[in-house]
Chains A and B, each alone.
Chain A
């Protein structure tokens, strides 16, 4: 089983600042990596798939990078609606999620 880790567990950021979230896979997943945003009481929302492709309707301030075992989600300028929990997910063999990074207001 491929184990996903995310860091940090919690990220405190001021509105307008840049946020950088990391995700690591225990073995290579190529570019088979997605990022999700989840707010309390809601289903997750797909942000990025293929490590760097924004899903339909996702603002350009969200960007993904990386391949193999190291991945990054960057939010260029945090808006109030971006404070949430973010999960990475590999879909190479077969599917596993990371434990999440909570982005909260500094």
Chain B
């Protein structure tokens, strides 16, 4: 059974940092692009970042470029999101998501339960 379990969310002050983790199991993690997607309270979905199987390619939404860094450790079947210089508008539930097709971009067929990040003083 595929499982994605996020952790690391919490309350942080504006300008602060937080590192999210996603533990993956039940599939060959090293074969898939992985992504982070967020959802602000009461709002829609926003793709944040994705990373290639070997970590050699990374893409970010413009609003987080230079502040967030996506990474992965295939030996630990884990995905990470380092978030620096956090702003109030980064407040959201952050989901880890797996693409459907190996070695390709496609829809996200599995999602974690989400971890809430709240940026507030």
Contact = CB atoms under 8 A, between A and B. Distances in A.
A85 B43 CA distance: 11
B66 interface: no
B106 A94 contact: no
B26 interface: no
Contact of B105 (A32, A36, A38, A100): A32
A46 B62 CA distance: 25
A56 B62 CA distance: 32
Given A1-B62, A43-B95, A87-B44, A95 B50 contact: yes
Tell me if B's interface is mostly helix, strand, loop or mixed: strand
Given A49-B100, A99-B44, A94 B111 contact: no
A56 B114 CA distance: 22
Nearest to B105: A91
Interface of B: 35, 37, 44-47, 50, 59, 62, 95, 99-100, 105-109, 111-114
